[in-house]
Structure 1
Amino acid sequence: MAEHAGAQKGDVICFGHTHKPWHREVEGIHFVNTGSVGRPKDGDWRAGYVILEMSGDQPRVEFVRVEYDLQQVMEAIRQSELPDDFAEYLATGGIPRPVESAADAE
């Protein structure tokens, strides 16, 4: 990020694609990853977004989570043409559940 910070002309860089919300300051440039509204990868199943407010020299970054009827959405996914794995993905917030071995089951 330091190499990108030096090449930028702005004070705040917002981006996404990783589905993991975070905020870092590097060499005076604020990098804000907005996260994901519907397919998080940080273990939190709730929808998420970011509020960015500029006040003076420092941005105020607030990550917001919104609950919704997870069971209803999971059922709608299962009834659709989407793979059932998408429903499980939402339930775990994008973090795969541990795989049980035969020894674990005993």
Structure 2
Amino acid sequence: LAKTQQRLGELDKETIHLHREYRSVSCSWDCKGKLMRMVMKNTEHLERELIDGVRLIFPDTTVTAKYLLILPDKETSAFHLFAEANSQSDARNLAEEYFTKLLLWKEVE
């Protein structure tokens, strides 16, 4: 900050602030593998990162994109959903959309 003569407030205005939402979906241990396969199958068209779980990257027309991390819990029979977006409503909608999808996929034989 001293070298660039910027004030902290100016830097804060330039920083992109993402809003976050969290959801959790419980399922049996046997169901976790099936759900991961359903996630992989149904997100083939999206940009993904596969580290520990599935991170979906949704391109957006604004400065930043929306992200969703679907993370299977290593200790319990559950999945954690972490959504990030430019607005709280976008993050909430993204988390709800995939929360609902996981519940539906859980019921598929």
TM-score class, shorter-chain normalisation, is under 0.3
Larger radius of gyration: 1
Greater relative contact order (Cα 8 A, min sep 6): structure 1 or 2?
Answer: 2
Q: TM-score, normalised by structure 1?
A: 0.25
TM-score, reference length from structure 2: 0.24
Instruction: Point out the structure with the larger helix share.
Output: 2
